[in-house]
Structure 1
Amino acid sequence: MSGTLVDVLCKIWAASLSSTNIPAPFKDHESMLKSIDAIEVGDVPWQTFNVTYQGPRPEQNVPTWMEAEFDVWFRDPREVVKNILARPDLKDDMDLTPYRDYNGEGDRQYENLFSGDWAWDQATQIAQDPDTHGSTFIPFVLGSDKTTVSVATGQTEYYPLYISPGNIHNPARRARRNAVALIGFLSVPKTDESYADDPHFRHFRRQLYHTSISTILQSFKPGMTTPEVVLFGDGYHRRVIWGIGPYIADYPEQVLLAGVVQGWCPRCLAFPYQLDSGDLRRCREHTEALIEEMHPGHLWDSYGVIANVVPFTNDFPRGDIHELIAPDILHQLVKGTFKDHLVEWVRKYLKANHSKRDYKKILSNIDRRIAVAAPFAGLRRFPQGRGFKQWTGDDSKALMKVYLPAIEGHVPDDMVRAMRAFLEFCYIVRHNSLTDKDILNLQRTLEEFHRYRTIFEESGATASLSLPRQHSLAHYVFLIQQFGAPNGLCSSITESKHIEAVKEPWRRSSRFNALGQMLLTNQRLDKIKAVRLNFEARGMLDSGFFSAELRALQQLSQVEDPPDEGPSSSTGHGGLQIHEPVSCSVRDPEDEEEEPAVDGTTLMAEVNLAAKSSEYLDVPNLKRLTRRFLHSQLGSDSTRRTVRSVPPQDLPNLPDRLRVYDSAVSVFRAPSDLSGSGGLKRERIRSVPLWRNEARRRDCAFVVTRPDVSGIFSMEVARVLAFFSFRYMDHAYPCVVVHWYKWFGEDRDELTGMYMVQPSMNPSGSNHVEVVHIDSLVRAAHLLPCFEAKFVSRDETCHTSLDDYKLFYVNRFVDHHAFELA
């Protein structure tokens, strides 16, 4: 917010206190900023150093980059990490020793960084030294990635460097709880086109990168061999040994880090044209031996090694950049293999094997299939298909969820199988915890992908399958065993940090010499966050003081007994009166679909009716269905099974009025998805007469029907027609009206790997509809039409697809919890 607007708020604040003779806390924005700057908690000031070229120079026409000074801004990373370790709110989200975890079946589980072999091996080395024996090993995870904040103002780029303690649990690192901190802005050297390919400039640019990182991390170096006493969030001091942990980076930066030639693998010695044949891993000792014995030209051609690059890890104990490069789900799998390769290859195949007219017709039909996917919480819509020019990571992830049925029938079956195997690989890798069985499944899907993807080469869609990003899949099993689940080391973490640390501060700046303003903004925000955590730890912001009042207000807003009469009541459905609270309002068409994250770890799953109510209830035979439901709730198990045969006169009578809701909120553990710190996720299941002023929306859900059966067949899929509740004999019954679907076979579809369902009908031909208890709902389900070879009509929309088709895939790729469930 601008200083002028802050001044206005300060004046309003002062005016509101004028009758009390109490002064406002801040006179203007300057006094507010002075108060923030005076905060000492979490204060790690910014520093700077500059780097200049020191090599040979030409006698005439010296390039400007040789004479320029390149500024690098940084904060002491050791102090930043110590501040994170000392936070009380993270004390339950960090490990103090490496461990090996096994489930009840004896399978090893890989989750956080400390569950892998790398941390175990590092701790073993530390324990063998008498001077460091018994110390707590704390590695730090690094990440860097250039980001563009403005194209219009001359391609303004920044090169942020991030750090996070390696012993922090993956969900805490992903949940934006400030467990990842900005510690520096690296310099971005530029020159004109005549020197862009100059070997001297390229070498200087590489070494500037490594020298800058090495200089920033120097404060850690003494503590890598001599223990340092550090305060932790649980109040204990521990002797700590620091270490360089995994480095989060995309492929171009991995190449820069490892000092290898573009096109080569930074982890193994496979040749660029035979990447899948390589199995010998690179290591620091081998690379140094090669550089000492061989000519730089031979190293470049035969080993892909750039001889004059010294990785920054060489300056520190136990540092080997080849073993520290982390897996990158976002750029290697989602953006790289899926978006850049497979989706593009499908397009090239269609173009090469059809006339121009048919090619455009098929591509348009694929777009329409994508566009008619039913709405789902958190699912990005593609009203015009996937034909957009600028892809984001979120676009690619969203397309992965709905792409498989869209291409079925338009491409060879082996292409669909290859795409399915790859998607299964991506979703298994994304698990928050992987077992030995998951790793076997991962290897199986990778083998299937390699077997089926040859169809792309055989059909002419691509000239080569030897691609670095696809080759990275071969290293994932080893990396999981080394570093735990890859979702805690993905570049999506640093990409999301760009918004808070770079893009938003840049927008707040004057755009002129913006870096200094951005540094100050980051420093002030960090102080505010740190002092808030300090206040919370001291009990100064205890929300429990208001808990009783908040519960009372909540009970008043969700009272079950409606008034006897009022303007918001309506009559229908065999004499039932549907109560609508006067306070109910039409849903804002701009409401976000994603629910806020939930912190905590104790809850496994829960579904509650939302507070808002819909305008009407359009369900035939609602009274009869509800009386049957109530009879089943009051009777024995045998009665519930035969409730349809109970005579109407033996069914209990209902109260005159029902309270109707437009949605229910499901809370369940989904640590593999974006969730709260404890892995809890909120999801809204909707049944509304008008959604975003377009059409009605009736979501689908998984409903438990056979709890004694394990797996997916313990549940049925149903479409939610309405939510309502009523009281009977002083007991509240929250209900949901569902239209059942029945499983189409007992096996997954061989091509897509998804189960199939079809609407369940009564013998009379009407829909099979029932009223069930809200507690039987598990979570939302997403259905995708089985298109086969059908072309989608332009009249079909995402709001009508569940009515227009009679056979559906249960979309296991809509999110990672659904993948594990189905």
Structure 2
Amino acid sequence: MSVGDATARPCDEEGNFLPEGTPPGRAETRILGDWTPYNSQDEFELADLLFTRAEMSHGQVDELMQIWAARAAREGATTAFTDSKDLHDTIDAIEEGDAPWYSFRVGYNGTHPQGPVPSWMDDSYQVFYRDPRQVMRMFLSNHKFDGNFDYVPYREYENNERKWGDFMSGNFGWKQAQDLIAEDKRTHGSTLITLLSGSDKTTVSVATGQNDYYPLYLSIGNITNQIQQGHEDCVVVIGFLAIPKCEREHEKSDAFRNFCQELFHSSLTTILEPIRSAIETPEVVRCPDGHFRRVVYSLGPYIADYPEQVLLSGIVSGWCPKCTAHSRDLDGDSSPRSTQLTDLLCSSFSSTELWDEYGIAVNVHRPFTNNFPRANIHELLSCDLLHQVIKGTFKDHLVTWVEDYLKKKHGKAGAARIMSDIDRRIGIAPLYPGLRRFKKGRGFNQWTGNNSKALMKVWLPAIEGYVPRDMIRAISAFLDFCYLVRHPTITQRTLQDIQDALDRFHRYRSIFQRTGVRKLGSKGFSLPRQHALKHYIEHIIAFGAPNGLCSSITELMHIRAVKKPWRRSSRLKALEQILLTNQRLSKLSAIRRSFEQCGMSQDDCHTAALKEVGLDAPETEPNPNTTDGVMNKNDDCGPVGGPQVLNHVVLARRKAPRSPKDINGLTRFIGHDMMVLVRCFLFDQKYPESEIPGSDVSLNLCPRFSGAISVYHSAVATYYAPSDISGVGGMYREQIRATPVWNRGESSVPRYDCVLVQVCPEDDGFRSMQAACVRLLSSIKHKDKTIPCALVEWYETVGNAPDDTIGMWVVKPEYTGNRQRQLEALQRVATVVHLDSVVRGIHLIPVYRKQQISQKHAYSTTLDDFKQFYINKYIDYHAFETVY
């Protein structure tokens, strides 16, 4: 269902609508084989390798070219580039992706005080920016977005239930299209393009006499969330905003604060000014599918941390930028803020009343959005999972409050002993792909977003037994909220679950007041970042799933656009070098797309050269551990490209060296009767419909086995996980390991990962699966058929529902024989299963409760040393969606 007049009709370059079914015109401006400004494919690939991927310094490029020139002189050949200047000049000659940098200066133009004048009043501040209109044209002409680009706002339903996912599925785009396109005949048939903005303050220069800056990023809401998370061309830096400096005595003066706010808003207004005319009057641009369309722009969500939200919205710090809730009772009754409401209040009350009762800072510069049509800054401020949920509520609030509780109850010395034990619990968590191992617990010199995310995965079981049950329930409810709002597609039922998790969190967090950690009454929880959780449902309804609008995306871009260019700069006039590096990266990325669009980069340069001289390209064996070069074969996990599949597990490319080659040797090696287990497995394969499993039938009825068996130390599980940082198609991969030697050369220990095995496909969630530890990965050759399989030791589920306090399923090792005997005398229940029945890996974390951990306990023996384990649904977002 889409807005009636926002039809995104194709047109010609003059804006004349085309008949339905007209194919797009050809966008390529070069002929096949034209590598200009390069002479050949290998020259371009070399330039891209040296500048984009290797990030080689000027001196290293010069040295490489000198070595190459020496060899070329002996062979009568030439080098691709004479030196680094030649390399960079050729990149600068690229016409594609050329969005040059401009700058303007801003200074204080107010009244100077009598006597000494603060230095900041006499300084001028330089702001760098790119033309956003030109950047938008680059965005929209990117054919890589074709198929993942929403041209019209829409509402999606399934079984009469509303669904929200990508940005254009939300009400914001729908309302913008109704307010403009449906009401203005000049815009009928146009495409609505929504600009997404974000800023992230950083220091880019140290001790070089320059000012500090922070980058301003731009993207568009029409790109699907999967592309937003998995494609580096989706976000571009379009500006570096100035940060004025002053003497410490003036830092808190009203004049200086007001100037900083005016500088910020006036800079944003100036940078975005070129886009203003196209907000109401359509302009013709080429779109990802190759068609021209008439487009109108709209300012969309702005991604910022709370201090910047205060700066953007003109409120008093401590208040909410989105609603009128009082700072002393942020979770109390309120109404939405708006520009119109602010104007009305400002005309009705004094500045003191506005400050004290409504949180409006009347003396600050008006928001930059006031200068653009259909823009309400309070509506546009986006929720931010990283700063509000992960760093804010989790790290700054809950982790701190638990520590405060322990100090109140046990004193500083007693709390220190308990926190040391909690650290040891965290430190012995079993290994898992992508999980940071906290060797010394959670004591960091500097907390980062990644540290907080990693701690969220293992912290809750580690504090159990040391805090009241309601604290566990409160934190579990909060984590549920955090993981629910990361869903790629959110239904009305999901919204109910989100609200339920938030209500449970609000209900159980009162334990922190009852134990004296927080003040009694509404003031105890009047925290802006935590209060922001109340606005997530309205955010989802307006803007779609929050994982498409998160500062985690801009922080990844921050590394590429600021940190890496800074490291490769000479530190002298570093900002100018950062700008130039970004421009060159844009050019190389754009020209690669141009080559690909013309069909000129289908082969690597070596294969292309062999074909050019009439030779056959060498055959290469496909590597199942990599797809599209996203995940390296040595990585434990990571995003990958490729087609969408629910889940798929394949054995590693190489067989395990020095492993037993016969089944009797494997029996001695693994400690289970492999002949019996393999024959039972073959029975299950021969009679898949049998109600009796092979393990329960007489061995005489099982097929005999005399074939070969090969052992592998790892397998790769690939599954659809768009909630996690996945590839363009939403796919993610992780290694599953079963090896007697791990971390060779450091502290060699065995590693046997745990997995989820599908056992009851007719059930949902964890009830359809069973947890198991992989003891052997192998392929069996039986009657000319090779079958990939795994020997697993099973865990049996404790109870028929998740634990009612912590909210996770509990399992324990399953043993054979008399259960009254000592566990050491029993044998684990083991089965050989087909690799296709393995859903994915899973993380098991011990049920610690009151058990204290020895300082000598090793993480490598954790799975053997505890009687019960939680199925860790918080290990990643896909697990949370799978093991409910």
TM > 0.5 between the two? Answer: yes
Deviations 1:624-664 (A, max 9, x none): 21222123223453286244433358531222x42211111
CA distance in 1, matches of 2:162, 2:604: 40
TM-score by length of 2: 0.86
**Displacement of 1:118 after TM fit?**
0.7
Deviations 1:582-601 (A, max 9, x none): xxxxxxxx996543421234
Aligned to 2:848: 787
Distance 1:636 1:591 in 2: 34
**Alpha-carbon distance, 1:406 to partner:** 0.6
Paired with 1:320 and 1:636, the residues of 2 have a C-alpha distance of 61
Q: CA RMSD in A?
A: 2.1
Which residue, 36, 57, 76 being the options, matches 1:2? 57
Q: What is the CA-CA distance between 1:209 and the residue it aligns to?
A: 0.1
TM-superposed deviation, 1:511: 1.2
Task: Map Cα deviations across residues 472-522 of structure 1 (whole Å, 9 max, x no partner).
Answer: 011111111000011111111111111110111111111122111111111
Question: What is the CA–CA distance in structure 1 between the aligned matches of 2:640 and 2:577, rounded to whole Å?
Answer: 33
Matched, 1:799 2:860: yes
| Among 616, 624, 645, the residue aligned to 1:603 | 645
> Which amino acid letter does the alignment assign opposite residue 537 of structure 2?
V
Find out whether 1:743 has 2:797 as its counterpart.
Answer: yes
Whole-Å separation in 1 of the counterparts to 2:318 and 2:413: 37
**1:358 and 1:3, CA in 2 relative to 1: closer, same or farther beyond 3 A?**
same
Cα distance in 1 between the residues matched to 2:397 and 2:206: 26
2:768 is the counterpart of 1:701 = no
- Cα contact 2:127–2:240 (8 A) shared by 1: yes
Match of 2:697 among 625, 628, 645: 645
Residues 1:381 and 2:381 aligned together: no
Kindly indicate whether the alpha-carbon contact (under 8 Å) linking 1:255 and 1:266 is maintained by their aligned counterparts in 2: yes
Quote the offset at 1:603 in angstroms: 2.2
Instruction: Give the alignment partner of residue 518 of structure 2, picking from 459, 462, 465.
Output: 462
**Partner in structure 1 of residue 715 of structure 2:** 664
Q: Residue 554 in 1 paired to residue 621 in 2?
A: yes
Cross-structure match for 1:85: 140
Q: 1:284 aligns with which of 323, 339, 346?
A: 339
Which whole-Å CA distance do the structure 2 matches of 1:267 and 1:790 have between them?
Answer: 45
Q: Are residues 292 and 649 of structure 1, via their aligned partners in 2, closer, same or farther at CA, if it must alter by over 3 Å?
A: closer
Change (3 A) 1:716 1:365: same
Matches within 5 A, 1:254-403: 254-308=309-363, 309-403=365-459
Q: Which residue in the other structure is 1:575 paired with?
A: none
Of residues 697, 715, 731 in structure 2, which corresponds to 1:680?
731
Question: Contact 1:116 / 1:480 at 8 angstroms: preserved in 2?
Answer: yes
Which residue is equivalent to 1:565?
A: none
Within 2, Cα distance between the matches of 1:19 and 1:737? 59
Aligned runs of 1:433-582 on 2, under 5 Å?
A: 433-463=489-519, 464-543=524-603, 552-554=619-621
- Please tell me the residue identity of whatever aligns with 2:166: N
How far off is 1:602 after superposition?
3.1
Kept after mapping to 2: 8 A contact 1:627/1:654? no
Deviations 1:714-737 (A, max 9, x none): 111100001111322221111111
CA deviation profile, 1:439-459 (whole Å, cap 9, x unmatched): 000111111101110111121
Contact 2:680/2:702 (CA < 8 Å) preserved in 1?
A: no
Once the two structures are TM-superposed, the CA of residue 56 in structure 1 deviates from its matched residue by: 0.7
CA contact (8 A) 1:148 1:155 kept: no
Aligned ranges 1:36-115 → 2 under 5 Å: 36-103=91-158, 105-115=159-169
Number of residues of Structure 1 aligned to a counterpart in Structure 2:
788
Q: Give 1:507's aligned amino acid.
A: R
CA drift at 1:70? 0.6
Structure 2: which 5+ residue stretches go unaligned?
1-55, 625-631, 660-665, 819-825
| 1:150-169 correspondence runs (5 A) | 157-169=212-224
1:723 aligns with 2:790: no
Could you give the per-residue CA deviations for residues 376-411 of structure 1, whole angstroms, max 9, x where no partner exists?
111111110011231000000011001111111100
Conserved 8 A contact 2:644-2:731: no
Q: Deviations over 1:667-725 (max 9, x none)?
A: 11000001001100011111111211331110000011122333321111100001111
Partner of 1:206: 261
In 2, distance between residues paired with 1:405 and 1:639? 38
* Equivalent residues of 1:762, 1:768 under 8 A apart: yes
Structure 2 distance, partners of 1:750, 1:639, is 33
Distance 1:550 1:769 in 2: 47
Report the TM-score when normalising by structure 1. Answer: 0.93
Question: 3-state SS of the aligned residue for 2:203?
Answer: strand
After superposition, the Cα gap between the structure-2 partners of 1:417 and 1:11, relative to the gap in structure 1 and judged at 3 Å, is same
Contact 1:159-1:188 within 8 A present in 2 as well: yes
Alignment check: 8 A CA contact 1:268 1:278 kept: no
C-alpha change, 1:57 and 1:779, in structure 2 (3 Å) is same
Which residue identity lines up with residue 221 of structure 2 in the other structure? Answer: G
1:580 is aligned to none
Report the residue type matching 1:628 in the other structure.
Answer: C
Match of 2:27 in 1: none
CA distance 1:454–1:150, change in 2 (3 Å): farther
Residues 232 and 557 of structure 2 are in contact (CA less than 8 Å); yes or no, is this contact kept in structure 1? Answer: no
**Other-structure match for 2:179:** 125
CA 1:799–1:507 in structure 2 vs 1: closer, same or farther (change >3 Å)? same
Between the aligned partners of 1:155 and 1:263, the Cα distance in structure 2 is 32
